[in-house]
Structure 1
């Protein structure tokens, strides 16, 4: 198997040499062997794993722990734990599907609200119960309320209570916030919804207005999630390729 210097690897994967060393520090690639002068010796496994990592992380909108899950997959590969990587990848796909479902649900809720339809419900939840249901922190809920995204009613004891309409609104907020929409942009969208000015919520999600101050590495949450899922097909192939490469490499001994 061929070996490469740091600068050679950097050129092959189109990254700065310092970034290659960062990959090692972050445990995203195996520890390389060293020459007598201390220079690192990389091989094809390192090169292919870095390429795999770049595919894995190219979708920036990886919410609800998805990015950390992908990091776990890459770290498993860096430790030659291929079966674990496959298991984590399967779990990742399930999580992405759940996020897509949540995004679709948010769209349906908005369309439902725009029609002016309401549904009576006796639902009454506390903040902690809502946080668990939505998979967010109570601090996040409190922050959204303080920023005017949600106005809650209080019960006779003065405690804040969450009704069905509040839960639906929070599902929209959660989806857009996970997609890196700013609180200001979300508030504008919610105001549009309240005034029934949004005709096509998919267009709003997929074609954000730059003036809305939307912090986004992609143009659409759903499209990004689907792209992330699409990338997993290639990642499965990459895992097989990396496993084969691992059989031909020399690994550092414990003394290293």
Structure 2
């Protein structure tokens, strides 16, 4: 196949094919005597893997890295390792999907004004619970996304309400909201009521409407991404 032919098959511009070769997303491409590139069925499969991996544009750097790892391993013809990376990526996407659903249920639970327990949690346990690094939580705190009380030993202690707010923040971050935009959103609501807590924020019509809109969009994107990765897994299984 020539460049224009493989580009048409995967529905990209010919320059994208050349770029993927330069980035080693596909195997080295031999040339004919006249200098034209000659692509094989293997190159076609590698191009399809790359297009599926990058079909959904997630803002989170870790998701982009996971997708890129799959493609680079495929381009080096390390199909077994690429398959393992794809399966790991699918598990990660499923986890993000579950967290998005959990966030929706949490907000609905709060809006129904259901009671919470008085149980307290450590900084480390909350990070593990939300599958976030402790530094991520500290960064959110430094950027005024939330505040947390400390005990006599000056250690952070989290309530269930704190965890619920963190879950909302986590979901907004996954839905492409920047830290600055989340902070501004909270501040704007809190300026009208200095005693505003999470429940009052969620009861604000503008916030509630926006939250459910972005979570629906996030869930749809994750569903598409998971289906794309499943297609990648099928291709990689056949290539082994």
| Fold shared by both chains (TM-score > 0.5) | yes
- The answer for the alignment partner of 2:146 in structure 1 is 150
In structure 2, the residue matched to 1:248 is none
Aligned to 2:81: 84
Provide the C-alpha distance between the structure 2 equivalents of 1:26 and 1:75, rounded to a whole number of angstroms: 8
Q: Matched residue of 2:122: which SS?
A: coil
Residues 1:19 and 1:238: Cα distance change in structure 2 (over 3 Å): same
TM-score (norm. length: structure 2): 0.76
Listed as ranges, the matches of 1:1-256 within 5 Å are 3-5=1-3, 9-10=6-7, 13-34=10-31, 40-61=37-58, 63=60, 65-126=62-123, 128-187=124-183, 188=185, 191=189, 193-195=199-201, 196-198=203-205, 204-205=210-211, 207-208=213-214, 220-239=217-236, 243=239
Shift of 1:221: 1.0
Partner of 2:165, secondary structure, is: helix
Q: How far apart are 1:13 and its partner, in Å?
A: 4.0
Give SS of 1:65's match: helix
Counterpart contact for 2:145–2:186, Cα < 8 Å: no
1:219 shift after superposition: 6.8
Gaps of 5+ in 2: 190-197
Verify the 8 A CA contact 1:125 1:163 in the aligned structure 2: no
Please give the TM-score of this superposition, normalised by the length of structure 1: 0.72
Q: Deviations over 1:91-133 (max 9, x none)?
A: 332222211111111111111222222312332313x443343
Task: Say which structure is richer in helix.
Answer: 2
